[in-house]
């Protein structure tokens, strides 16, 4: 990867996605990179925001605006204050641009679309630690994205998760 990279982190604010974000910050993101926090919300019927941005996702939202109530209401996603605080400190210290982006639809497809649309150099995501049977029944966003994304995908697995 080159300088001024675009690195995405799939964020649903679960423990796994927070671990993925921390891993990316500690091991991957460097000065002058852009870190995209990618949230995927289920489609909400004919609601205007999901149909308006159904193909492209929301416009990029700068880190300074991610905690605003207006942004939360407009896009239907709440970026947690503790995560935002940590990102603001990290962004200043490492001189990294942090941007939020929200998509609506199936997480598997939308994460793959985000990779292409944002021209990501890498995507980092957490794993819920599902075992083989649970993956068969529930499906695996992680597996789908790993197989279909057009950039390298790093999966951060919780060492405490033990699926059956």
Model confidence over 10-35: pLDDT tens digits?
998 888 889 999 999 999 999 999 99
Number of domains in the chain: 1
Q: For residue 77, what are the domain limits?
A: 6-157
Residue 44 inside a domain? The answer is yes
Residue 1 inside a domain? The answer is no
pLDDT in tens, 35-93: 999 999 887 654 545 455 667 889 999 999 998 999 888 888 888 888 999 999 999 99
Residue 162 inside a domain? The answer is no
Q: How far apart are CA 147 and CA 162, in angstroms?
A: 23
Judged on CB neighbours under 10 Å (0-12, 13-18, 19+), 39 is buried
Identify whether the C-beta of residue 10 lies closer than 8 Å to the C-beta of residue 125: yes
Residue 125 inside a domain? The answer is yes
Q: At what angle do helices 15-27 and 81-94 cross, to 10 degrees?
A: 10
Q: What is the pTM of this model?
A: 0.85
Q: What is the CATH number of the domain that holds 74?
A: 3.40.50.620
**CA-CA-CA-CA dihedral for 143, 144, 146, 149, to nearest 10:** -170
Q: What is the pLDDT confidence band of residue 138, given thresholds at 50, 70 and 90?
A: very low
Q: Nearest 5°: CA angle at 161, between 155 and 164?
A: 105
How many C-beta neighbours within 10 Å does residue 137 have?
A: 8
Closest by alpha carbon to 58, among 105, 17, 90? 105
């Amino acid at each position: 990867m080159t300088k001024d990279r675009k690195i995405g982190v799939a964020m649903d604010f679960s423990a796994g996605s927070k671990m993925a974000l921390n891993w990316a910050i500690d091991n991957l993101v460097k000065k002058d990179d852009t870190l995209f926090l990618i949230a995927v919300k289920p489609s909400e019927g004919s609601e205007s925001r999901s149909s308006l941005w159904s193909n492209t996702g929301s416009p990029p939202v700068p880190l300074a605006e991610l905690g605003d109530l207006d942004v939360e209401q407009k896009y239907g996603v709440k970026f947690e204050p503790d995560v935002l605080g940590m990102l603001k400190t990290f962004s200043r210290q490492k001189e990294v641009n942090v941007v939020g982006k929200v998509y609506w639809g199936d997480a598997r497809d939308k994460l793959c679309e985000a990779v292409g649309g944002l021209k990501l150099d890498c995507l980092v995501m957490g794993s819920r630690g599902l075992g083989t049977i649970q993956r068969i029944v529930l499906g695996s966003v992680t597996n789908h994205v790993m197989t279909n994304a057009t950039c390298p995908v790093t999966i951060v697995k919780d060492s405490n998760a033990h699926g059956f």
